[in-house]
Amino acid sequence: MAPTFTENLYQYAGDYYINAMTGPTRQREYDRQRTGQEDEDENVEDGEIDVDELDPEELTRTADGELIHEETGLIVEEEQIDPGPEWRAFNHSERQSKSRVGAPTTQTMHDKGLTTTIDWKDKDAYGRSISSKKRSQMHRLRKWQERIRTKDAGERNLQFALSEIDRMASALGVPRSVREVASVIYRRALSEDLIRGRSIEGVSTAALYAACRKEGIPRSLEEISDVSRVERKEIGRTYRYISQELGLEMKPVDPKKYVPRFSSELELSEEVQAKANEIIETTAEKGLLSGKSPTGYAAAAIYAASLLCNEKKTQREVADVAQVTEVTIRNRYQEQIEAMGIHS
């Protein structure tokens, strides 16, 4: 008996349901077989290149942090971690407003600037003045905050020494990099127990003088002693001691580094500065600089150059700026003009 229309309809619906249910399964099996074949092909291709046998000179680091082999294009190493901020800024003010970090750590503070401070303005978060009761509480909190910042005698020593370095550096007008180096030198001297038996002011002053020499900022011992609370002799003695114990390699000071500052204070032209540098170079090549004070040597060269360039300055004026005696300038001046073959 032939199937009716209703039976044919049910048969068609059943076949459609079966195909709909088994189709994805067949597709997944096909994809799995295809992927497995590709993985085998990749394993075969990867097996042909041994990363350990690649020549390091043929590896190149891209801007994205990937290390690739130029000849084969193989990515040996990839570093996609971006350490930068997630925001963008196009000028300094915008960068400052979006930044969520505080000031950088510094060696010029005994706690490296990591502790919190209580403001002295006695105002709340909205800028309104606080009551007298709250003001007395804040004053007490501020006092205890200062006390607990230094937990022992070593930190109190370091706090006082770093404040002295900052005070003297400000008086000398040296850049902040010199203060950082001086603070590091003092911290090393403290950790090596070189402070024992010496004054804190003497060691801190010697550290500042050593930092000036290491950073190429010419400051004489006389200038350092003028802003310090210790004598010049003690500064020199302490400087020699800590430089020897800490192994600080100090090159002799070049007298030419004093020429721009001395000439500026004497209001001399660039022609005089160039002539003074020429005198120093020529006479130093003949061995006259050995054993001489660099400040006195530079002062004598400036005095000679001012005479040669018709911008005469007296020996007293030059000596006051260089903080040397007139006798030193006369002696160095005579030696320099004789070596240059110039008749006075």
Q: Which residue has the tokens 């130093």?
A: 284
**Cα gap 206→248, rounded to integer Å:** 12
Domains of the chain from N-terminus onward: 104-251 (1.10.472.10), 255-340 (1.10.472.10)
pLDDT digits (tens, 9 = 90+) for 75-123: 877 766 666 777 888 888 888 888 777 777 788 887 787 777 777 888 8
Spell out, as residue ranges, where the chain has pLDDT lower than 70.
1-49, 51, 64, 79-83, 343-344
Residue 153 is predicted with a pLDDT of 81
- For the chain, the distance separating the N- and C-terminal CA atoms, rounded to the nearest angstrom, is 143
Residue 51 is predicted with a pLDDT of 67
pLDDT digits (tens, 9 = 90+) for 170-206: 999 999 999 999 999 999 999 999 998 899 999 999 9
Residue 277 is predicted with a pLDDT of 92
Residue 306 is predicted with a pLDDT of 92
Please classify residue 131 by burial: count the beta carbons closer than 10 Å to its beta carbon, then call 0-12 exposed, 13-18 middle and 19+ buried: exposed
87 — alpha (psi -120 to 50), left (phi > 0) or beta? beta
Residues 6+ apart with CB under 8 A from 95: 89
* Helix, strand, or coil (residue 280): helix
The tokens describing 289, both together, are: 């600089």
**Cα gap 239→257, rounded to integer Å:** 21
- 206 closest CA partner among 170, 248, 168, 236: 236
